[in-house]
Chain A
Amino acid sequence: METHAHPFAEDSLHAIELKSEGGSEFSRTLIKRAQSYRRLGKWEWARRDLEKALQAEPRLAIAHLALAELLLEMGEPEKSFAAALVYGNLRPNDAHGWVARARASRACGDYLAADHAYSKAIQNSTFLRPELFLERVAALDASTWSPLLVHRRIMRVLDEGISCLGNLVSLQSEAIRRERGSGNHEGALKRVDLLLSAQRSPIKWYKIRGDILQDARRYHEAYHDYQCALCALDALPAKRRNLRPFRQLREEIVASSIRVPRDCCPVP
């Protein structure tokens, strides 16, 4: 396959010379061309290539997977699910197939099936990534189950991710956000403390800790944490602390400090 001449240009993709029709090389070339079309947003052309590849080799698993991903992007989640199902039958323990099935289920609004498929994807994934857990959380979040049930399940998923992958900011920050949302200040504080003990950015996490404490009406401690955040900010080299996000963070910390009731602030 000549992929080097204007891979994004439609004309050149059309002009790609396909190897002898019917062989596995032929199918693979079609799949690659379909992926190029897909990247360009030429979905119908991509679909046509994948279907042609499947006509040549009906049990070509990767073509079913590519078709499932494409159909989802095309807004046809039911058909995407069907293609993912075929792929799953051909490769039952492959995590990619379960992810495709989970995304299709999610798009169909079947969040229970999506949750199950994500759990299978996580179980079968050789190389786990935090994104799988976050996706599963997003699927659960969209469900119409009891909010309490959803919250518990989401927290369990996030804790599973943390158990598997470590004390990651990507997972913990989501967990903290949800703990705060549910009013579980203690749970949120414990998670922030875990991040602080892992030497993550003290400015951001002291600030968030202060916010949580303020929510919990523990104003003295909140004020103290805001001061810690400012100290951490001041401890940054000047070359870093003058960056826009840090300037903005300083303003936010000062504004948050001001909101602490005056009688709760230590007398200067």
Chain B
Amino acid sequence: MIRPPIFLTIAITLVANTLPAFSQLTTIVATDASGWNYLNPTTGNDFEGYDPASVDADFNATWFDPTGIYLGGAAYDGPEFVLDAQGPLAYGNIPGVSPNTILRAPFKGTRGSAYFTRVIDGGEHGFFDLEFDLVADDGAFIYLNGILIGTDRFTASDVDTWGGVTRRPEDDHQPRRVALLGYPILNPGQNFLAISVHNGEYGGPAHSYHSDELGLSLEIRGTPGPIPDLPPLEVIRGPYLQHGTSEGMTIRWRTQDFATSTVRYGLDPNQLDQSMTVPSLRSEHVVRIGGLVAGQKYYYAIESERPFDQSTIQVGEDSNHFFRAAPTGDYPTRIWAMGDFGTADDRALDVYQAYQNFVGEVHTDLFLMLGDNAYEDGTDAEYQAAVFDTYAEMLRQTVAWPTLGNHDTHQDVYMNIFSLPTSTSGTELYYSFDYANIHFVCLDSQTEDHYDAELGSGMLAWLEEDLMTTTKDWIIGYFHHGPYTKGSHDSDAEEHHIHMREKSVRLLEEYGVDLILSGHSHSYERSFLIDGHYGHSSSFNAQTMGKDVGNGSDIGGVDAQGNFVIGIGSGPYRKAYGGNHGAVYTIAGSGGSRLSGWANGSYDLVNPEPHPVMLVNLRIRGSVLIEVEGNELHARMIDDIGNVRDDYKIVKGGDPLEIGSGDETAWRAWLATHFEAEVLDDAGMEATHWGLQANPDQDDWRNEYEFYFGLNPLEADAPEIAVDQDSGHYSVHYWKNADAHHAWVSLQYSLDMNEWHKDGMSMQVGTTVNRRNLVEAKVHQPEAARVFFRFETRQNP
């Protein structure tokens, strides 16, 4: 049996507190009561089941309508019901149910659904505090006066996708007390009860298979009126925004009681001229609106009505309740990211307040929750306090995108609270979405079977497909357990980190991820621009894996004491579009949690033994602001008093040269960028440009271009290319773009310009800073007064 969601219990408790203590339950409908009308659709003599909607298009919307024929209305025009039968009503063998009315059974294997209605007299004062004890094989929807008031082994949301229900727990034939939605009452006088019972088996369409038995046995009890007044309907959570796309937005809120759900929206807060209503009763309101215009700002209001007493509530319809449909192209995007913030105390509020003060009136588009969103266990009550009460203002304007942390142990709560994309992944635990020119990928690092191929990881298969499909300029990934940390957790020792590093990060980097955000360690750690490090921290090689070991900032950097100092910036990290040019990894796990010590036991402000990929290691509380516009990503760490404690940029270059394009202009531009010295056709440098498709060395390589130049080491030379003679050692220094594949450039030397040599020359490539490597090539030729060097460059070697 499906357990009722936790909010239901809360709602009922609240209502129950208002009831008179002297309630006496009276049986209103006994299990053997007569007066039942039923429709058990089988056709003719062949006992073939059929769907009534196939003969009456509006059957599914009208059969339970109290204004239908049974209460004197005319709304219902579908197949006729058999009238005035006595309960229980069934066919087949349902233990504990001896039917007074034997229904007509379809052949085994054909459809088995039945529809039951009856009129109930509420007497002079009606009834409240109703109880429904039910055996419905296999499951049922229950309507009272046209409103869905309960389900048995379905969820309320199933009714909206009734045709799509394909599975339910197996049959156990046990009588159950129906968890009623809200606070249904029997009005004085006539009431209309309608129950649909559906047979089915997991794995097939709900109407279709194995109709061995079907039946209904129901007893209704209640307290006679007068019906007490209910407390006014209130919104006790939200509204909050979910699953924002370029076309749609999900708006959610919670009321203390079951009520209808309506969102009104429009381009002007004073003219909300569009609306979307979900008529079924919910306390957890989820309204998806579609047909939005990408990039457009919309204002909205939410409304709920409790039908039993027409109590209504409305929130919004002002300038504080708005959202923006996700832009599809380049758009200045502001992202707020942090993890481990779910403490619901002053520490979390300080971080939030500091961020709000820092950004001022500028709107935050996305809120990335990096896990451990609600301490201690991620219960619904903890989420209420740590997320919905703490960030209420932001959540009604900014779409929140969470990932699961180790403290979010109540996964069912997490998945009930959030509405996340599942269409490609099949689960809310990992998903992706686009906003402007950014592709976001959320992974689940908490649930072992998502990353463990031994357990059949669907996440990695999904991830690769997802990354293959995106064409966005930027890729930002986030998950709770960061691949590199020596904070309060050690990525060398703990399996979640290791798994993510070895499997997921490898794939993300292959497909050009730019930034990875994580939490878990209660500190702030930020890496250089790195690529290809999937092992133990001791295996990190800055020469080969550090794509840029500068600080990435054009204004300053963090000094050894942990202070952000203006003027020591080494310049933004530069990445060419395309190719695999590294990513920055950020641990932002101090959004509210208590600050832990470092992995080595130290409690210093700056980690004395940081992970070697990490440039900035601060034991401070704060959050990360990321702004992306065009080809530039700008990230800052804002501490809990509003100071910038780290600052870096990633700037993407132009498109790489088209291989085989034959575009000499583009090639020259590329060369100028990559070598920062124009050597072609420079007489002063004795360079010769051999032209398109030349192959002067006859080495049978498919060269796009080949050229050489000679340098007289005894003469002054171009500033970026220096040749030194020292005791017969000739050396060439040049800046090589880090993005250029090592095999694209071949440096050779000659003494006579006839014979060219690679052997006998030592090469040393320096670390990458600001996308450039300083290369030094040395030749030992003590007898030669003049040595020629030749660069051979080629694409796609």
Interface residues of chain A, those whose CB is within 8 Å of chain B, are: 4-9, 39-41, 93, 122-124, 126-131, 134-135, 137-138, 160, 163-166, 168-171, 173-174, 199-201, 203-204, 236-246
Contact A93 B449 (CB under 8 A): no
A131-B449 contact, Cβ under 8 Å, with A164-B166, A204-B468, A238-B658: yes
* Residue from the list A7, A123, A203, A241 in contact with B578, Cβ < 8 A: A241
B283-291, B419-427, B708-716 - interface stretch:
B419-427
Given contacts A122-B202, A123-B167, 7 further A-B contacts (CB under 8 A): A130-B458, A163-B204, A164-B166, A165-B426, A170-B459, A201-B468, A238-B578
When A and B form their complex, which 5 residue pairs have the shortest distance between CB atoms, in order from nearest? A134-B456, A170-B458, A239-B577, A242-B578, A130-B458
Q: Does B726 contact A (CB under 8 A)?
A: no
How long is the Cα–Cα vector from A104 to B580 in the complex, in angstroms? Answer: 41
How long is the Cα–Cα vector from A242 to B496 in the complex, in angstroms? Answer: 31
Residues of chain B within 8 A of A6, CB atoms compared: 488, 596-597, 599, 601
Contact A169 B594 (CB under 8 A): no
Q: Does B574 contact A (CB under 8 A)?
A: no
Residues of chain B within 8 A of A203, CB atoms compared: 468
B297–chain A nearest beta-carbon distance, Å: 29
Total of A-B residue pairs, C-beta within 8 Å: 157
Residues of chain A within 8 A of B424, CB atoms compared: 168-169
* Residue from the list B429, B450, B454, B596 in contact with A5, Cβ < 8 A: B596
Residues of chain A within 8 A of B411, CB atoms compared: 127
How long is the Cα–Cα vector from A164 to B459 in the complex, in angstroms? Answer: 17
A93-B169 contact, Cβ under 8 Å, with A130-B458, A131-B458: yes
How long is the Cα–Cα vector from A221 to B691 in the complex, in angstroms? Answer: 41
Interface size class of B (residues with CB under 8 A): 35 or more
How long is the Cα–Cα vector from A199 to B465 in the complex, in angstroms? Answer: 11
Residues of chain A within 8 A of B468, CB atoms compared: 201, 203-204, 245-246
A243-B425 contact, Cβ under 8 Å, with A130-B458, A131-B458: no
CB pairs A–B below 8 angstroms (15 shown)? A4-B593, A8-B488, A39-B495, A39-B496, A122-B202, A134-B456, A135-B449, A165-B427, A169-B465, A171-B426, A201-B468, A237-B655, A241-B578, A243-B511, A244-B510
Which chain B residues numbered 380 to 432 have a C-beta less than 8 Å away from chain A? 411-412, 415, 422-429
Contact A127 B577 (CB under 8 A): no
A251–chain B nearest beta-carbon distance, Å: 11
Q: Does B461 contact A (CB under 8 A)?
A: yes
Q: Does B493 contact A (CB under 8 A)?
A: yes
Which chain B residues numbered 467 to 514 have a C-beta less than 8 Å away from chain A? 468-471, 473, 488-490, 493-496, 510-512
* Residue from the list A160, A171, A237 in contact with B471, Cβ < 8 A: A237
Nearest A residue to B168, CB-CB: A123
Q: Does B782 contact A (CB under 8 A)?
A: no
Contact A127 B465 (CB under 8 A): no
Contact A130 B495 (CB under 8 A): no
Q: Does B1 contact A (CB under 8 A)?
A: yes
Contact A7 B493 (CB under 8 A): no
Contact A238 B465 (CB under 8 A): no
Residues of chain B within 8 A of A130, CB atoms compared: 425-427, 458, 462
Residues of chain A within 8 A of B456, CB atoms compared: 131, 134-135, 137-138, 174
Nearest A residue to B407, CB-CB: A3
Contact A124 B169 (CB under 8 A): yes
Residues of chain B within 8 A of A168, CB atoms compared: 424-426, 458, 462
A259–chain B nearest beta-carbon distance, Å: 22
Residues of chain A within 8 A of B655, CB atoms compared: 237-239
Contact A39 B494 (CB under 8 A): yes
How long is the Cα–Cα vector from A6 to B596 in the complex, in angstroms? Answer: 6
Which chain B residues numbered 122 to 177 have a C-beta less than 8 Å away from chain A? 166-167, 169-170
Contact B461 A93 (CB under 8 A): no
How long is the Cα–Cα vector from A218 to B611 in the complex, in angstroms? Answer: 54
* Best-surrounded residue of A39, A122, A239 (most CB of chain B within 10 A): A239
A129-B458 contact, Cβ under 8 Å, with A164-B166, A244-B510: yes
Contact B471 A240 (CB under 8 A): yes
Contact B427 A127 (CB under 8 A): yes
Contact A160 B488 (CB under 8 A): no
How long is the Cα–Cα vector from A168 to B422 in the complex, in angstroms? Answer: 10
Residues of chain B within 8 A of A93, CB atoms compared: 1, 169
How long is the Cα–Cα vector from A67 to B131 in the complex, in angstroms? Answer: 39
Q: Does B2 contact A (CB under 8 A)?
A: yes
Contact B455 A135 (CB under 8 A): yes
Contact A171 B458 (CB under 8 A): yes
Nearest B residue to A237, CB-CB: B471
Contact A8 B658 (CB under 8 A): no
Contact A163 B203 (CB under 8 A): yes
Contact B458 A40 (CB under 8 A): no
B342–chain A nearest beta-carbon distance, Å: 13
A123-B490 contact, Cβ under 8 Å, with A238-B655, A244-B510: no
Q: Does B579 contact A (CB under 8 A)?
A: yes
How long is the Cα–Cα vector from A130 to B510 in the complex, in angstroms? Answer: 24
A149–chain B nearest beta-carbon distance, Å: 18
Q: Does B264 contact A (CB under 8 A)?
A: no
A47–chain B nearest beta-carbon distance, Å: 17
Q: Does B522 contact A (CB under 8 A)?
A: yes
* Best-surrounded residue of A8, A39, A134 (most CB of chain B within 10 A): A8
Nearest B residue to A122, CB-CB: B202
Contact B578 A240 (CB under 8 A): yes
* Residue from the list A4, A165, A238 in contact with B596, Cβ < 8 A: A4
How long is the Cα–Cα vector from A44 to B462 in the complex, in angstroms? Answer: 36
B335–chain A nearest beta-carbon distance, Å: 21
Contact A4 B488 (CB under 8 A): yes
Nearest A residue to B423, CB-CB: A166
How long is the Cα–Cα vector from A163 to B205 in the complex, in angstroms? Answer: 9
Residues of chain B within 8 A of A137, CB atoms compared: 456
Residues of chain B within 8 A of A243, CB atoms compared: 510-512, 578-580
Contact B455 A131 (CB under 8 A): yes
Contact A170 B461 (CB under 8 A): yes
Nearest B residue to A138, CB-CB: B456
Contact B426 A166 (CB under 8 A): yes
How long is the Cα–Cα vector from A237 to B202 in the complex, in angstroms? Answer: 44
B175–chain A nearest beta-carbon distance, Å: 16
Contact A200 B465 (CB under 8 A): yes
B792–chain A nearest beta-carbon distance, Å: 21
A40-B493 contact, Cβ under 8 Å, with A134-B456, A164-B167, A244-B510: yes
Residues of chain A within 8 A of B455, CB atoms compared: 131, 134-135, 138
Q: Does B457 contact A (CB under 8 A)?
A: yes
A248–chain B nearest beta-carbon distance, Å: 9
How long is the Cα–Cα vector from A168 to B461 in the complex, in angstroms? Answer: 10
Nearest A residue to B520, CB-CB: A7
B646-670: CB near A (< 8 Å → 1, else 0) gives 0000000001101000000000000
Nearest B residue to A241, CB-CB: B578
A52–chain B nearest beta-carbon distance, Å: 20
Contact A236 B658 (CB under 8 A): no
Residues of chain A within 8 A of B462, CB atoms compared: 130, 168-170
How long is the Cα–Cα vector from A124 to B202 in the complex, in angstroms? Answer: 10
How long is the Cα–Cα vector from A200 to B428 in the complex, in angstroms? Answer: 19
B561-590: CB near A (< 8 Å → 1, else 0) gives 000000000000000011110000000000
Residues of chain B within 8 A of A129, CB atoms compared: 426-427, 429, 450, 458
B493–chain A nearest beta-carbon distance, Å: 6
Nearest A residue to B340, CB-CB: A4
How long is the Cα–Cα vector from A6 to B598 in the complex, in angstroms? Answer: 7
* Residue from the list A7, A236, A242, A245 in contact with B656, Cβ < 8 A: A242
Contact A201 B465 (CB under 8 A): yes
Contact B510 A170 (CB under 8 A): no
A45–chain B nearest beta-carbon distance, Å: 15
Contact B488 A7 (CB under 8 A): yes
Residues of chain B within 8 A of A127, CB atoms compared: 411-412, 415, 427-428
* Residue from the list A8, A124, A169, A245 in contact with B511, Cβ < 8 A: A245
Residues of chain A within 8 A of B450, CB atoms compared: 129, 131
Residues of chain B within 8 A of A173, CB atoms compared: 461
B172–chain A nearest beta-carbon distance, Å: 9
How long is the Cα–Cα vector from A7 to B495 in the complex, in angstroms? Answer: 14
B169–chain A nearest beta-carbon distance, Å: 6
